[in-house]
Amino acid sequence: MAQAWKCSGLRWSADGPVLVWDGGRRSALTRGKRVAFGVAEGGARICVGARGHTCPAGAAMPGRSTGARCEECARLDRAHSVAADTIADDPRPYRVYLAWFGPGMVKVGITAQARGSARLLEQGAVCFSWLGLGPLMAARRTEELLRAALRVPDRIPYAEKRAVRAALPETAADRAREVAELYERAVALPAWPESLVREPLRVVDHMGVFGLGGLPAAVGQVSELVAGGGVGGELVAAAGPDLHLATGGGVVVLDTRLMTGWGLVPAAAGEPTVPIRQFKEAAGVQDGLF
């Protein structure tokens, strides 16, 4: 029986996306590469634990969950989390950013300065610009100011991001326009926190990094992994946690967060044999398994 590996998720490095495995092994994901793996027969998806510790209950997790953590481990993982607003005295400097994912989809967010643009790559931001730099609470107040005064969301569902990736504007100028317009409105707000230093507008475009130019529209996405099932396809693009895989039935999106918690084994390159949720616009493709 082949050794089963546990995936820790997709990470973005200076060289592009990599799959990280328990134990530290990494698999580079280059466009054109054949991605193929199977789920161990008779296996179950188990909670991945929290903060480097295994789940004490070894809780079983549903296949469709993107978190792969039980309620208790999820609570522990979010303890002392900036995202959960449980750290008010973090001394590190933070940046406020504006991120664009497609027409009409701009969000505001914050990230530690030390992380650079990693957070934007992880979210699948097609382009972005820094807005300001300062203490955590000033960055958080600015984020709230934009939400309240300009009605800018701080979250955009992945389903909406995926739906537009194959139909993005062709030029970088067109992709940057909404970010630039929102930037001007944001810096003109009178209640800007004094301790947050405004950063100049400089739009960074990830279209090429993600490989979205000329991307075929996806026909569906993997809804869950199942014991004994497999995934296979040629990598044509990667954005955030998503892999766009070319299969015999068209391009299928795999959210790599669905891989965590499973025992995965090598597999011969073949078509997906896991549940696929067909997109409504993908006419003529049969529902269910490929």
Per-residue pLDDT of 187-215, as tens digits, reads: 999 988 889 999 999 999 999 999 999 99
Alpha-carbon gap, residue 163 to 236, rounded angstroms:
16
pTM: 0.90
Backbone angles phi, psi at 205, to 5 degrees: -110, 130
Mean pLDDT in residue range 42-60: 91
Token pair in block for residue 168: 């993005």
Predicted confidence at residue 289, as pLDDT, reads 29
Is residue 183 predicted with pLDDT exceeding 80?
yes
Predicted confidence at residue 4, as pLDDT, reads 86
For 137-157, the pLDDT digits (tens) are: 999 999 999 999 999 999 999
In Å, what is the CA distance from 266 to each residue of 40, 67, 151, 232?
9, 23, 47, 11
Predicted confidence at residue 258, as pLDDT, reads 96
Q: Which residue has the higher pLDDT, 268 or 113?
A: 113
Mean pLDDT in residue range 81-108: 82
Predicted confidence at residue 145, as pLDDT, reads 95
Average pLDDT, the chain: 90
Alpha-carbon gap, residue 72 to 231, rounded angstroms:
30
Return the SS3 of 160: helix
Predicted confidence at residue 287, as pLDDT, reads 36
Q: How confident is the model at residue 282 (pLDDT cuts 50, 70, 90)?
A: very low
Token pair in block for residue 86: 């449980």
- The residues pairing with 105 across neighbouring beta strands, listed in sequence order, are 102
Q: Which residue in 279, 284, 264, 270 sits closest to 234, CA to CA?
A: 270
Which stretches does DSSP call E strand in 103-229? 105-112, 127-134, 197-198, 204-205, 218-222
> Who contacts 61 (Cβ-Cβ below 8 Å, separation ≥6)?
45, 46, 47, 68, 69, 70, 261
For 268-280, the pLDDT digits (tens) are: 777 899 999 998 7
Is residue 170 predicted with pLDDT exceeding 80?
yes
Alpha-carbon gap, residue 286 to 288, rounded angstroms:
7
Predicted confidence at residue 21, as pLDDT, reads 92
Is residue 158 predicted with pLDDT exceeding 70?
yes
Is residue 88 predicted with pLDDT exceeding 70?
no
